[in-house]
Amino acid sequence: MADIARMAEVDISTVSRALANSPKVTDDTKEKIRKLVEETGYVVNHGARMLRNQRSGQILVMLPNIAATFFPEVVLGIEDELQEHQFTVVVGSTRNDKEREDMLARQLLNGAADGMILMTGRLPDELLAQPSYDRLVVGVSRTVPNADIPQVNIDNRQAAITAVKHLFEGGHRRIAHLSGPIGSPTFQARVDGYLHAMDLAGASAQSTVINSSGFNLAAGATAMTRLLESAILPTAIICASDEMAIGAMDVAQKAGLSIPEDISFIGFDDLSFSSALHPSLSTIRIPRYEMGRIGARMLLQNLDSSRKKPENIIMGHELIERRSSRVHGL
């Protein structure tokens, strides 16, 4: 910048103002500087600006695993929203490792990131040190229990109830649930909803929950394999994610079961794949992209501490009925 100033024969402060498009600089001067910048390919130094302004223009997204099918679409929504507001997105996969979580959280504390979107369902310990952390963090898609931060999510309990009801209407009574990690409030809420709905329908004796440590293909396959060992098979299965459902359906089909004739399936998420599968997969659609966008918007609002802290948002879910749970297999 000093170079530009010298070449333009003005003070460095004028250059700074010109670049910030300050109204107190003549158009002539601005134009002269603009040209020089173009010619030299000058770019303002990020570190210096950051030090000076005490902000980085970066938002950290913390999630367990960017390769889990659920997350990329949420990240896309976050990116789209934040890019419009001149923020850059930093993604960190924690693999559920506390140490990695703390390492990433430090990005917030040291000023490398101005705010954070949390999709791990857990507040890193490091963060609690920071006094105003509740203004810097927003939880998305994985509820953080007892946290004083704004969150966006769907009503997972209600979603599970929706799934059970749907199967009940199809005449099913023996309905099993292949759940995700039991420690996660998200998956726990789905279990709760499932059990509650089964109970309401007087079918609680028929409830079966199989827990998994993950919610991917392999988890679904393993859980289904275990379920097949039961004396009496359920006639329908609610899987905690579409990915699990795909794994489970594969195992079921390999075991000679027809879907939906012998056994029905319904998942959670509505991946783009789910409609193209054979049979196509019924599911509870979760508005992933929108959740990301709205979460990002909430964070932006939250960062501005002069404004009211945003309220939690519960987004709608939607039952998508496809062939895997169709009565009479039509």
Partner DNA sequence: TTGAAAGCGCTACCAC
Partner DNA sequence: GTGGTAGCGCTTTCAA
Given candidates 22, 88, 213, 230, which one binds its own copies under the rule CB under 8 A? 88
Choices 72-80, 114-122, 150-158, 193-201 (CB under 8 A): range interacting with its own copies? 72-80
Residue 276 contacts which entry, its own copies, DNA, none (Cβ below 5-8 A, type-dependent): its own copies
Helix 217-228, helix 242-254: angle, nearest 10: 40
Based on CB atoms, which residue is closest to its own copies, 189 or 281?
281
112-131 binders of its own copies (CB under 8 A): 112, 129-130
Q: Tell me, residue by residue from 2 to 21, as one string, x for binding to DNA by CB under 7 A and - for no binding.
A: x------xxxxxx-xx-xx-
Q: Tell me, residue by residue from 46 to 65, as one string, x for binding to its own copies by CB under 8 A and - for no binding.
A: xxx-xx--x-x-x------x
Residue 100 contacts which entry, DNA, its own copies, none (Cβ below 5-8 A, type-dependent): its own copies
Based on CB atoms, which residue is closest to its own copies, 57 or 185?
57
Given candidates 21, 38, 41, 53, which one binds DNA under the rule CB under 7 A? 53
Which residue type does 240 have?
A
By CB under 7 A, tell whether 23 contacts DNA. Answer: yes
What angle (nearest 5°) sits at the alpha carbon of residue 219, between those of residues 218 and 224?
A: 100
Which pair of tokens denotes residue 123?
Answer: 């507040």
Choices 12-20, 109-117, 147-155, 186-194 (CB under 8 A): range interacting with its own copies? 109-117
Check if the beta carbon of residue 207 is closer than 8 Å to that of residue 172.
no
| Nearest approach, Cβ of residue 314 and its own copies (Å) | 24
Choices 99-107, 201-209, 225-233, 319-327 (CB under 8 A): range interacting with its own copies? 99-107
Based on CB atoms, which residue is closest to DNA, 24 or 328?
24
Residues 6+ apart with CB under 8 A from 117: 59, 60, 61, 62, 78, 137, 138, 139, 140, 292, 295, 296, 299
Residue 24 contacts which entry, DNA, its own copies, none (Cβ below 5-8 A, type-dependent): DNA
Residue 328 contacts which entry, its own copies, DNA, none (Cβ below 5-8 A, type-dependent): none
| Nearest approach, Cβ of residue 183 and its own copies (Å) | 22
Total site size for its own copies, rule CB under 8 A:
55
- Provide the binding-site residues for DNA, judged by CB under 7 A: 1-2, 9-14, 16-17, 19-20, 23-26, 28-29, 44-45, 47-49, 51-54
- Provide the binding-site residues for its own copies, judged by CB under 8 A: 41, 43-48, 50-51, 54, 56, 58, 65-67, 69, 71-73, 75-76, 79, 83, 88-93, 100, 103-104, 106-107, 109-112, 129-130, 216-217, 221, 243, 246-247, 249-250, 253, 272-273, 275-278
